[in-house]
Structure 1
């Protein structure tokens, strides 16, 4: 009986000493963290805290990367962008660049003829009468303007670029204006009619305007068939 009481007393004292030791150690650690002098004197504790902070930062970055990867992953049952893509038929005029260069050259020559033609005529022929000088300057202007207008009339139906999505009832074309700039238009297949004229470089007519497609460079036969309707199909 006395022996058991003695053992119980020894165990309670050892537990009390151990708890007091832990408390004292924790108190010293808190003081060392609060005191700047002790902090600077203990590099091992500083490095341990820095290592712990770096570990937490790395863990947060890896977690964010995993969340971003999960959010970017395609959902089950959904369609990706490649599945939603549909082949678009694109036609490019084979001589589009050449036509634009010739038209720019014609416009520039017409501009200089209008601007400098009368000046050159009146300065280079001082012995000629004013009536003849005026007639010569007017003829130069008329020839330059008429050639520019004729060039535009011939190449105005030329389609420089055309895009069509299979199954669509309309298509987009790029034409060229007077100033050699590209003008986009949208044409419906229901508005296409045969040209019904002997005008050169014309394939079909739509909304009162003429259009030309180079059949040798239009490789999509379905599109070409819809662009060249016959009299029976249009009626």
Structure 2
């Protein structure tokens, strides 16, 4: 897999620091699954963070810090003993929507549910991804046929896109399997799927896409883009 487009250093730093919104984090983690070079970079950042932490001056603790910690542990164990709820049934995650041969469902989405493919236009379908514990996460899959394209749009916020299958060109660059893209209010583009194969992308949006045309805006609002 020839991956040419990767997240920037500041995005990896935000991931390592744990400061990314859930939807954006899932897209970055999906890129990591596909890109050995970025996995090495993130491992180096995490190791660097550990070195920095070790070099910090020790913080003084209260004389009774250990006793207070042990008291809290005892209190938690007593609470658990007093409450005896029946064990919860394992959560069943619906099967993901079918993908073409060669496309793999990201491990980052293993606990997520996704709807069936839904029609949004000729040769275009989408699937809503539901993230456990993060109903605010705006994550979805787009599946667009060869030669088809999304309407021209810009962004009122940030959109992260990870290509899972196929290729598209948006006037700035060609994006293929494994490639990553960040678009914001400074980007005005029209992704066009290249001939020969459909294209499937995972996307997360903070804010909204702003389509040029009125009909496209209506469809975008209907599906939460």
Question: TM-score over 0.5 for the alignment?
Answer: no
Larger Rg: 1
Q: What range describes the TM-score normalised by the shorter chain of this pair?
A: under 0.3
Which protein, 1 or 2, shows the higher relative CO under an 8 Å CA cutoff with sep ≥ 6? 2
Whichever structure has more strand as a proportion of its residues is 2
Q: Normalising by structure 2, what TM-score?
A: 0.24
